Copies of this chain bind each other. A is one copy, B any other.
């Protein structure tokens, strides 16, 4: 049983997009200036909200049970619940499906406007959203890399949602180790056309009945491929052949052999696919074919992967949000026990009990902090594409690139913790599937695993992201935080700035320690990488939250205590305080552990793990 009541609030989403981020700067870019004004976002958010509330979330009820059913058969092996069909069509017809991925379109929306829409969609149904998000990712690879005729043949129907899309990367023996793929592509007499043979697994939306055709992107190697990732190509392999005139042809020998029984996300078909079991599967190479056994597939795949990594953070964010709003609703209604300070008094709604408040505030703080991290990253990404000055584009590209692993790993790790606190708010009812938090906790667990397990992002953050371009982007990213703490001090937030100052000094020690280890104790970077990523995330989230709090304090002073919106700004200030004073202090534990640099996990022989 999956949650079916959409209780999201849009106020903080609008605050982040309209009031906090420098949207005037972004909308002055050529790509947007003739198309959008700041208030236009309201319409998109309001329509999205209504679709999420009235269509997407009610259909999510069926996501767990019946969920997706594997029925077998060559051409239609997976059946989605009936309610999914209408939902899928409604979203695609409203232009809120894969259309966003069309980054070449005149009048396209900024990615940072898409972020709150995607967050709400995932909050409404973590499972159903997968049917258009993977399509969107696949179009990115095609749009950026494929020959013009392939783009014309495939993209329009993918953008409209008539056809779905996937990324077929994982194989039973090749997950984190992408270079180990064994799926083969054999050249044919037709240039660009290859014969495909191989098995893939864990393919999200790998088969389903929501679209007429599914366009798979398949990572495969030619017989003469270089070992490892160098030999990988990326090919377009439709489930049904697409003729030169764009019409749909015969079945292309792509068979779904089963779907996974998962802990959550039952409404998303996680498929095993067999390509070419009848020796009759063909695909088009994306870009030029391999040269000397070297393909471009890895680089192309990463264009989709990077997008999906950021989106994965946003998927997790939706679960955090929906679980929090469900817990909040419950705690306002559920009456139990008098206040401890008034033991003979009446029973009160449990939101009045301190520990319940703490748990709600924790969830709210995690939600808003992660949202600030995510949206700022989408915003940096927009400017990295759309700013007119190349140096500025490079600068923002650096910031976005650095934050993506934090968005993916920190937000997904926090989803497990935060949805648990939502469960806890409900007491025994939290364990019952009729209430929202249980299914959201189950659903969200995938996000720390796919698109690279979270440790791979810790490795990325402490490795490439810290050292790329001689470490310049990382220095700029850290300088942003340092400047803020040094120059924005405000008496209203004296405790918070003091905490951030000490926490930031600690983070600099952490960074220095990592840099010291890079020379000769690199195994310590591996052992502490996950904790370093978390520390970095808490530092930047603390800074972003405090930045939002300063803005809220300013707005509150302008509007006055009696303004109808005053509570929102008070809430923002309190939430920032809570995050900085209660979540950020974990970095002080991290540095203590790092200073000892314990290696006991590596020191013991493998046989000692009993």
Contacts and interface: CB of A to CB of B under 8 A. Distances in A.
5 contacts: A170-B428, A438-B445, A571-B609, A574-B601, A588-B588
A427 B175 contact: yes
A502 B156 CA distance: 64
A596 B581 CA distance: 7
B427 A449 contact: yes
A263 interface: yes
A499 B592 contact: yes
A309 to B, nearest CB: 15
A592 B588 contact: yes
Interface of A: 1, 9, 11-12, 170, 173, 175-177, 180, 202, 260-265, 328, 332, 335-337, 340-341, 347, 351-355, 357-358, 360-361, 364, 416, 420, 423-424, 427-428, 430-434, 438-439, 441-442, 445-446, 448-450, 453-455, 458-459, 495, 499, 502, 522-523, 526-527, 529-530, 567-568, 570-571, 574-575, 577-578, 581-582, 585-590, 592-593, 596, 598, 600-610
Contacts of A530: 355, 358
A-side interface mostly: helix
A117 B423 CA distance: 30
Contact of A609 (B337, B351, B587, B601): B351
Contacts of A575: 600
Contacts of A353: 526
Contacts of A337: 176-177
B433 A450 contact: no
A357 B453 contact: no
A180 B605 CA distance: 56
B358 A527 contact: yes
A581 B568 contact: no
Contacts of A176: 336-337, 427
Contact of A355 (B263, B449, B527): B527
Contact of A577 (B170, B445, B582, B600): B600
Contacts of A445: 420, 423, 430-431, 438, 441
A269 to B, nearest CB: 14
B354 A527 contact: yes
B424 A420 contact: no
B527 A458 contact: no
Given A423-B449, A428-B175, A431-B446, A601 B357 contact: yes
* Listed residue (A1, A354, A423) with the most chain B CB atoms within 10 angstroms of its CB: A354
Contact of A598 (B433, B523, B578): B578
Contacts of A354: 523, 526-527, 601-602
Contacts of A328: 609
A609 B568 CA distance: 8
B588 A261 contact: no
B261 A434 contact: yes
B424 A449 contact: yes
* Listed residue (A361, A427, A522) with the most chain B CB atoms within 10 angstroms of its CB: A427
A538 B269 CA distance: 42
A53 B347 CA distance: 48
List the 7 closest pairs (A to B, CB-CB), nearest first.
Answer: A354-B526, A571-B608, A361-B601, A581-B598, A585-B592, A263-B438, A574-B600
A458 B360 CA distance: 17
A428 B448 CA distance: 9
Contact of A582 (B202, B358, B593, B610): B593
A541 to B, nearest CB: 15
B581 A455 contact: no
Contacts of A11: 610
A268 to B, nearest CB: 11
A608 to B, nearest CB: 4
A357 to B, nearest CB: 4
B600 A590 contact: no
B430 A449 contact: yes
A1 B266 CA distance: 13
Contacts of A441: 263, 445
A341 B522 contact: yes
A522 B343 CA distance: 13
A588 B506 CA distance: 13
Contacts of A522: 340-341
A438 to B, nearest CB: 4
Contacts of A351: 606, 609
Nearest to A592: B585
Given A567-B605, A575-B600, 7 more contacts: A9-B610, A175-B427, A340-B522, A358-B601, A361-B600, A442-B442, A570-B604
B574 A604 contact: yes
Contact of A431 (B262, B341, B360): B262
Contacts of A600: 361, 574-575, 577-578, 581
Nearest to A325: B610
Contacts of A592: 499, 502, 585, 588
Contact of A424 (B202, B453, B568): B453
Contact of A357 (B263, B567, B602): B602
A433 B428 CA distance: 24
Contacts of A601: 354, 357-358, 360-361, 574, 578
